[in-house]
Structure 1
Amino acid sequence: MLFKRNKLTIATLAITLALSACSKKWDDHNQVTDNNINNNLYQNISKASNTTIFSQLLVKTGYDKILASSKTYTVWVPTDQALQSLDPSIVSDTAKLRLFVTNHICNESYLASTTNPDQRILMIDGKYELLSGLKFDSANIITANQYAANGIYHIIDKFVPRIDNCWEWMQNSTTVPMNKTFLLSLNYIYNDTSKAKIIGVDPVTGQTQYDFTNATQNRNRFLDKVANVNDETSPYTLILLVDNSFTTELNKLTPWFKTSTTDSTNRLSSFHLVRDLGFKGAYSPSQLPDTLISQFGVKVPINKSAIVASYRTSNGWVHVMSQVNFTLTYKFPSVIVQGEAPTAFAADRTANVLYRIRVNPNNGQTFKDLLMQNYSYASYWINYNVPAMNSMRYNVYWVAVNDVQATPLWQQRLSMDSAANATVLPYVTVAYQNYNEVLLGQVTVNQFRNVNFYVVGPTVSTNSGGTDAISLDYIRFEPAF
């Protein structure tokens, strides 16, 4: 019994001593943590043994005071050794230095951990940097998660330079002068009515009059209509062509964009060249597929051997290429005009118009079409306005479904520019239960323009018997190069 009591006493004493030791270690930990938390970020950074240079840069830019405020920040602090290679021209230029420093600071607190998912973090300078495990961009985090009263700082083994985004890279580049000149020619001034001051109403037109003194913006049509590769929040890939390639591809496109002047033809062709060279998503050289799909559905062939150089940007990648050999059939897909979406009618025959949903018995797929019958109007027409047709020949097909009568069959034709123009395409008999495309012939559009087409009904005029009829599922204009 005495032996058992002694064993219990010894065990109790051991546990007491262990707890006392642990308590001492925890007290020491709290002491260190409390000392850090009692100081602001600047104070802790300036006291660290290997961050003297960065703390001096904070003072020089005034960010020592900002990091001493109550607002929460995370700072990635390059070591003194890392900053030995910093370009002196950045240090001597206050504006550049502020951008450099703020590219290492962000709002809110971000802990670094090997288990954290990758995240793009918005820095104070407006750029995004990648935090991936214990890496900040290309730098290794060598001392992580150092606390302060107003945030966290990490010590990194490299500084992270502020780099251009895709659009900024293009603006600052001298390697693609023709491509660059055209893209910048798309700049324009935008008057923002939501920010303008209302100063009155025009007595003639009744329209609101504005003072746009403080409501104008510099904008660019490529950024507006193609891809906003100047946007830091999303990843992009921009392809730029060296002069020879730009000229080659432009010459291939020019015949299909003829206008009334050489300048407008070149401008139009140039836009349709560059509009298929901006892509959502960041594709590094190793990630580039053999084909990219543009915002307009055009397949863009990517020959990696034609990449002159690739540049990582703050929002993606720029690839300078010596060739992008577009396939014309991809660049100019067929133009489809839906029969149930007319522009105008020869006369009001609302009671005779049917907008139908049908099932194609050949493939089981549903489709929409338009059918008119017994409208009592000789050579009645339905107008379809087709915008931005290229200057080229087209093979013309339609699907016109007659599923209402085996006899009598009716005839209809397609006319261009005028319903009375009967010299282009002849009348075609609309067969019973034919759900397939019918080749009508060819039309030629001499200039890039909006074109009016007319589906013209029979030359008879009746209100019974189904002789007066027009049917249309769709018209397809297939480029005939």
Structure 2
Amino acid sequence: MKNTLIYVIALLGISSFLQQCGDPWEDHINEGLTDINQSLIQRLENEAGASTFLSLLKEADLGVELDGTNSYTIFVPDNQSIGAIAAELRSDKGALSNFVKNHIAVSTHRLNTSADTIQLTMLNGKILDMLSSRIGEVSFLKSNQGSSDGLYHILAAPLMPQQNLWEYITAQQDYKQNQFLSSLSTYKLYDDGLLDSEEDSLLNNEFLHFVGDVRLEKDRFTYFVLQDVAFDKDVSAFLPYVNYRNEADSSIQISRYYVARDLIVRRAYNKEGLPSELTTMSGGKLVVDKSAIVESIQLSNGYVHVLDAALLDNTQGVTNKLASFKVEGEEPSSFSHSRPSNTFHRDRQDPNGLLFRDIMVQNHGVSMFTINYRLPHFLSTSYDVYWRALNDIQANVFQQRLRILGEEYPGVLGAPTRDEMYLSPYTDVPLMNYDEVYVGSFELSEFQQVMAQLMAAASTANGVNTVVLDYLRFVPKVK
């Protein structure tokens, strides 16, 4: 009897405790609510300050989306902030629908104290960043108001639909820089092997294809637009580095491309947040004087800053633009002979604990065996070249050399051929050397696509004609 009484008392205590605690998530989401059984629309009808947006929402005819079968989060600009634009929105049904959908996200998204940025996909396809105190650049007046089919937040200002970067480039055709990038959808700079895409014709644009698809809402970009005078100055300053077959018009177009492609960064920075030095999407260094920014524009996937000053009107500006680049040894385009059983893609670790992968071809029995690398277009300037080549499994030093071949053209009887642009002396590959080694320098008088060949010793002896490469690094020089 005594044990039964103790059990009943314990059970009642647990029940009382659970009633007091309840469901912590339900308590959290229901904070401040008067009737959790109401729908979002019903809640907004009773929300002071939401009537203007609610009327726009109803006029936009989003009943199919907000039918209670899914959960949504609605970001509601208060009446005071939206009143001035309501009449204009009502006059354009397409703009009205886009505006309203830009304030509605699928699923429930609470405002919290986390420092993390959450990307929300809105009904119009735009992706907005939500932080602990704002969404986009707009702050919250009231937050985390629940209902039977989602949440709503009251905002201090409307979330005006923004263009993405590509929409901005194609719409703002007053700038020569934007005109040029748009023209690449139909104009080919050079024979780059880019095949026309039937599924996505815009990816035939060499800027979108090779630099980055700036249409993507989920990605973030910062794009600098040079006013026409500054753009023309930079194009002229870079022209000596892109001498394409001594053809003036083609060289100017390529110079425009190289100037424009290095004015975009894969991260969103407003003017105040711009760092002193940026790395462009093509790997160059970009230093921007904030005082040269005459206009800043927020996009749905980043920012645009308009500059009134040239960036390449001094040696330092050109030096910043001429970025070195690496060619990974384990990514060849072809071999002089097929030796799969003698070819090794190796995972290694340097003395600092950093992992890397290289290629080694060993005991292949071929004199002057070569590994070929099809490289990107090289500028018409001089280059220093370095390699890292790890000789870690042999007891002897071996030698290898580097050969640079020019652009392919029809030779005798139409057979494809390439001119030799540079041939380094045979260079020792010492034991256990993890350091980068200077190989030599060469000069190109024309902008062209080249091939690099890593060449083994002129011997068939095992251990003597080994070739190994972690990477090649090419450093263009200022003229």
**TM-score, scaled to structure 1:** 0.67
- Greater Cα offset, 415-424 or 49-58: 415-424
Instruction: Pick one of 274, 279, 299 that aligns with 2:260.
Output: 274
Q: Match for residue 26 of structure 2?
A: none
Segments of structure 2 that go 5 or more residues without pairing to the other structure are: 1-29, 188-196, 409-416
Segments of structure 1 that go 5 or more residues without pairing to the other structure are: 1-29, 190-210
- Correspondences of 1:462-481 after superposition (within 5 Å): 478-480=475-477, 481=479
Q: Match for residue 324 of structure 1?
A: 311
Amino acid across the alignment from 2:226: L
Q: Match for residue 182 of structure 2?
A: 184
Q: Match for residue 258 of structure 1?
A: 243
Q: d(CA) in 2 for partners of 1:439 and 1:106?
A: 56
Shift of 1:74: 2.3
**Identity of aligned pairs, percent?**
25
Q: Match for residue 215 of structure 2?
A: 230
SS of match in other structure, 1:98: helix
Q: d(CA) in 2 for partners of 1:469 and 1:238?
A: 49
Shift of 1:242: 1.4
* Cα pair distance change 1:278/1:374, threshold 3 Å: closer
Given that 1:369 and 1:472 are in contact with CA atoms closer than 8 Å, whether structure 2 keeps it comes out as: yes
Q: Deviations over 1:43-64 (max 9, x none)?
A: 3323445433223222321135
- Correspondences of 1:141-156 after superposition (within 5 Å): 141-156=140-155
Shift of 1:339: 7.5
* Cα pair distance change 1:46/1:271, threshold 3 Å: same
Q: Match for residue 87 of structure 2?
A: 88
* Cα pair distance change 1:84/1:422, threshold 3 Å: closer
- Correspondences of 1:73-152 after superposition (within 5 Å): 73-86=72-85, 88-112=87-111, 119-133=118-132, 135-152=134-151
Instruction: Pick one of 302, 315, 331 that aligns with 2:288.
Output: 302
Given that 2:222 and 2:302 are in contact with CA atoms closer than 8 Å, whether structure 1 keeps it comes out as: yes
- Correspondences of 1:21-420 after superposition (within 5 Å): 36-63=35-62, 66-86=65-85, 88-112=87-111, 119-133=118-132, 135-175=134-174, 177-187=175-185, 215=199, 217-219=201-203, 220-260=205-245, 261-322=247-308, 323-325=310-312, 327-334=317-324, 380=368, 382=370, 384-387=372-375, 388-395=377-384, 416=405
Shift of 1:316: 1.9
- Greater Cα offset, 105-114 or 286-295: 105-114
Shift of 1:95: 0.6
* Cα pair distance change 1:88/1:171, threshold 3 Å: farther
Shift of 1:138: 4.7
Q: d(CA) in 1 for partners of 2:144 and 2:172?
A: 39
Q: d(CA) in 2 for partners of 1:354 and 1:144?
A: 59
* Cα pair distance change 1:439/1:84, threshold 3 Å: closer
* Cα pair distance change 1:389/1:453, threshold 3 Å: farther
CA RMSD after TM alignment: 4.8
* Cα pair distance change 1:107/1:382, threshold 3 Å: closer
Q: d(CA) in 2 for partners of 1:40 and 1:275?
A: 49
* Cα pair distance change 1:360/1:428, threshold 3 Å: farther
Shift of 1:291: 0.9
Q: Deviations over 1:209-231 (max 9, x none)?
A: xx96xx55543443333233322
* Cα pair distance change 1:70/1:372, threshold 3 Å: closer
Q: Deviations over 1:238-293 (max 9, x none)?
A: 22221122222222322222223434333333322222222222111121111111
Q: Deviations over 1:78-130 (max 9, x none)?
A: 33333321163322101101111222222222344567865333221222334
Amino acid across the alignment from 1:317: Y
Q: d(CA) in 1 for partners of 2:422 and 2:164?
A: 52
Q: Deviations over 1:309-361 (max 9, x none)?
A: 11222222111123333744443345666778776676789999999999999
Given that 1:40 and 1:67 are in contact with CA atoms closer than 8 Å, whether structure 2 keeps it comes out as: no
- Greater Cα offset, 468-477 or 216-225: 468-477
Shift of 1:437: 4.7
**TM-score, scaled to structure 2:** 0.67
Amino acid across the alignment from 2:448: F
Shift of 1:477: 5.1
Q: Deviations over 1:296-315 (max 9, x none)?
A: 32211122122121122222
Q: Match for residue 19 of structure 2?
A: none
The structure with the larger Rg is 1
* Cα pair distance change 1:88/1:383, threshold 3 Å: same
Q: Deviations over 1:353-375 (max 9, x none)?
A: 999999999xxx99968688996
Q: Match for residue 190 of structure 2?
A: none
Q: d(CA) in 2 for partners of 1:234 and 1:73?
A: 23
SS of match in other structure, 2:283: coil
